[in-house]
Every structure is written in structure tokens, then in C-alpha cells.
Chain A
């Protein structure tokens, strides 16, 4: 459905500094699959999501790479064209904290109207209303919500409405950036169920789900990609990444999982010390070196490539698989 090859993008700040927020990222999602992206704050998850749509406007700038959506190569398309023919139709994006950014003076139906009119200004009010009603019915949301203002909706309902607005034009790929992080568990579950239903009924063909909550990601995604400092450091199925992490960073992330299950109280919560490197001038070698328990002098010399280990699995570390596994065994 969606394929990205060696995509790099950067932010140019107000002081004309470059921030390399996405660095040579490749990924591929097949129809019916959900790709999860994990990583701590500031590692470039949201930036990757924005970059994937091929829609660049300052301060975000394209550097290199290719984006192919459903067989169509959109690399180098003009932003205007992308907005008209790709956004919302081929690929839709739910920005982080979108539900808190809704204009409080407008009704839900107006947001849907905006999306439709941006692509086809000829739609009448009645057509928009009929479409919105059908859409809400399809997604299992009450139609009364259409006539409400954002403040009248609870957090969970607001987020589900935002998703409905995003999929108004039935996109093939949906990118959801932290759609449930601000919600409590019950609302979160409803949001996830709605997304899951949309995938299962084929309403959307593929999904990218971004979050730093690993247990959630494990339950939602088929494959998980772990990002660190703008790079992919590990890729594999959800099970592999959670239960058998290879990269020391992924391993560290797994140590921060808190679920109310019997083993939890005896397990030791491990925090990764330190902070991610500054992306203005990332270190030449492994970007995780400053925080890595297993760092070797040669880690800091040249950049570490992403090693493929078969079955779509890959990780970015100079240590061999077995050695890493053995180290983790001992650490525990």
C-alpha cells in the first residue's frame, strides 16, 4: 500500500539551523496491516508521519528519498497537487493533540464540510450532511454529534470524531499520531476499537499508529518500528519487538512497560539514563552510544547501518544478535 525508500527530511529553524528529524527511513506496509512506530518524545515520530505524506511546507523540508502510495510515486509532487489529490483521499493524517486544536466555535459538521469542500467546492450543504450522516453510521458514531460543538463532547468522543473527520474521503492509508495518549483507558479502548473496526471492515486499507505506549502498540500493530533520534533502530513483528528486542534502546523501552499483570510488582522498572542527542548535529557513530550500556569504542566511529536479519526483521547495532540476547539474559 505504502512504500517509502530512504526518506530524509529536516526542519530549518528560525535561526537557520538544520534539524535532521528524519534520517534515511525506509518502510513498507502491506494491505490490511498496521505498522506501529514507537520511540520517546522528540525522536521524530510526528515528523516522519508528516514527511510520509509528501506534503512539505516550512519549516519542514524534503532532502531525499521516495514515497510510493498504492503504486503511485508522489516524490517531487508540488505541495498544492499533494493537497488536492493525495491528502485525505490516498492518505489521511490525524495530528497529535488534534482533538484539543478544534475550533471551539464550529460544529462537527462544519469540519467535515471543510474537508469535503477543500477537494470539491461544489458540494451543497445537504450533500455534505447526507455524506456525514452515512459516514457516522458506518463508523458507529451517533449522528447527533454532527450538530454539536467540540466542547460538548467528552474526550473519547472528541477523538473519535476527529478520526471520522480525517477519514471523510475514505483514504487508503491512515496515520494516527498518538490518538489515545491524552485519554483514560476506557476512552482509549473505544478509540482503538473504532480504528480496529475500520481496518477489519476494509474501510481503510492500512494504518500507521504512532505512540510511546508499548503495551498499546503491541495490541494494535502487526509490525513495530522503533525510532531513535530520527532513525529506525529496530523493525520486526509486534511480538518479536516486544518479547525479543534486539537493539539496546528497544530493550530499554521494554523496561518501561507498566501493565497490571501479576509479574509486574516483582519486575524492576528500568529507565534509560540520559537524553537523546541533539539532532542539529547528530553524533557520527551510533546515535544511542551516549546512553548505551554495551557501548564499545568502535560504536562512535562511523554510522551504524540497519542490519537485515531476515523475515523483515532489522536492527541498527554493531553487536551480533546472539551477543545482545546473551547480554540481556545476564542483565535480568
Chain B
């Protein structure tokens, strides 16, 4: 494992419960974690295990039912709109479904202009803004000149997801939460997206929190892996430890369920 920096995002007993009484769902159940500066973390679990819920709590988009989240060593405080805005300058997200990540009534430019405004560049001259947007687009191998004045639905899923990375490029947050950023796009574009994400991380040194059900992807990108089952972390550790020497039966099952190419895929155990 690489030498870890200071913890930048930690949680103690973080819990989220939806509904009450008979309709109660415990989506995230007392999880503890420490994500360090510059680390790439993956949270792996099958669908419905509470990954997205946890991601939204990390992002401060939904409230935490119980437990505490610590940001840069201090208790996170999101009590006012101003504090939230400040927090969101530090933590950003890429979501699973590129098709629902855009306001379909807005042109693509507005997404990028928003980021410039958020970084305090709202009053820059138009040329400067265009320059910044062009730079961001070319970072993910898109041509701004071809995108400007287009609507999101005129792009392919892969292109939309790349534009999301361009957005992060402009924002340069300290932490990026990527909730299944590649699960809706095909394997070929997936490699491209991962490439750009890694490149961005290497340039900015940000902490990257990957949320995924693709255990192969988690293994490939991350330093640390957390395995989530029914809202709990059942196993965590360095990627090699967790994937190559899994201890928890759930982790073993997840790994055995992935089709592989060098090992036999055992279909009898379902």
C-alpha cells in the first residue's frame, strides 16, 4: 500500500434509514471509514447494497440519520447554504447515468460556465471563459468548438461522461466521488473514461472515491477497497489483499461471480 496522507474524509457509525415503521429500509448501516488525501478508494457491492446512498451522504446531498462525517479532521458542518457551497467547492461527483446528469433544456456550455463561475471566474471576459472551456474539453479529447451550442442529448453516453470529467477538470475539487461512472457505457468507452479520470487524478492529486459493482474495475484503479453488503462494510483493505486474498465469504462470492478469462468461471455456485 502506498504511504497514506492525512484522512480527508472519515465516517463513524454513518447510518441512513429511509421511511419509518413497516416501510423502514436501512440503506447504510453504521459504517466507519477513513479516506486519505490522494488515495483512490473503491466501494464495491451489488445493486441495492447502499453504495449510492453512502455516496450521497458523503456529498452532503442527503442527511445522515445517525453517525458523523469528518471532513479534513473536523466535524462536517452543512447547516447553512453558504457552508454547503463551501463544502461543495471541495467535493464533487460524477454520476452513473450520463443521460440524466444533464438538464436537457440547457446547452452544454452552461454546464461548463457554471464551473467557471463556481471557481470565482464569473466576471472573466468571454474569451477567457471560452479558452478555459476549450482547455477542459481538450483534456478529455473533445472539441469545444463542436460542442458549443449543442444540447446534451446530441452526444453519445461516452461523450457525456467525458464532459462530466471536463467539468471536474475545471472545478479541481479535493475529493471526487464517482458513482458507477462507467456502468452505463460500453467496455471500450469505459477504458477511455478511466484513462481520463486517472490522468486528472495524477495532475491534481485529488482523492478519488469510486463506487462500483465492477470488481475488476475496482481492483484495477484503487489503492483501497471497501466491500459493502446490505449497507455494511464487510471487508476492507488494500486492493491486492481484498481481491487476491479475500477473507469474507461475500467478497469471495462476488469475485467468483465475475466472468474471468484466465480462470475457470464456475457456474454451479449460484
Which listed segment binds B: A69-77, A107-115, A253-261?
A253-261
User: Contact: B194 with A215, CB < 8 Å?
Assistant: no
User: Contact: B254 with A242, CB < 8 Å?
Assistant: no
Query: Of A188, A253, A260, which is in contact with the most chain B CB atoms at under 10 Å from its CB?
Result: A260
User: Contact: B188 with A196, CB < 8 Å?
Assistant: no
Indicate which residue in B191, B216, B220, B263 contacts A271 across the interface (CB closer than 8 Å): B191
What B residues does A258 contact at CB under 8 A? 190, 214, 216-217, 219-220
User: Contact: A186 with B257, CB < 8 Å?
Assistant: yes
B98 to chain A, nearest CB (A): 12
- Dominant SS among interface residues on chain A: loop
Q: How large is the interface on A (under 10, 10 to 19, 20 to 34, 35 or more residues)?
A: 35 or more
A151 close to chain B: CB less than 8 A: no
Query: Of A192, A215, A270, A273, which is in contact with the most chain B CB atoms at under 10 Å from its CB?
Result: A215
What B residues does A187 contact at CB under 8 A? 46-47
What A residues does B190 contact at CB under 8 A? 256, 258
User: Contact: A261 with B262, CB < 8 Å?
Assistant: yes
Chain B contacts with A in 88-143, Cβ cutoff 8 A: 141
User: Contact: A252 with B220, CB < 8 Å?
Assistant: no
Contacts A186-B254, A242-B261, A264-B216 given; does A256 touch B187 at CB 8 Å: yes
B208 close to chain A: CB less than 8 A: no
User: Contact: B261 with A185, CB < 8 Å?
Assistant: no
Bound CA–CA A185/B250 (angstroms): 12
B2 close to chain A: CB less than 8 A: no
User: Contact: A41 with B191, CB < 8 Å?
Assistant: no
User: Contact: A190 with B270, CB < 8 Å?
Assistant: yes
Indicate which residue in A215, A243, A253, A265 contacts B260 across the interface (CB closer than 8 Å): A215
User: Contact: A270 with B191, CB < 8 Å?
Assistant: yes
User: Contact: B216 with A252, CB < 8 Å?
Assistant: no
Jot down 20 A-B pairs with beta carbons below 8 A, ordered by A.
A42-B156, A155-B47, A185-B254, A185-B258, A212-B188, A256-B187, A256-B191, A257-B261, A259-B258, A260-B258, A261-B261, A261-B262, A261-B263, A264-B216, A265-B219, A269-B191, A269-B194, A271-B191, A272-B192, A273-B192
A interface, CB within 8 angstroms of B: 40-42, 155, 183-190, 192-193, 196, 212-216, 218-220, 242-243, 252-253, 255-265, 269-273, 275
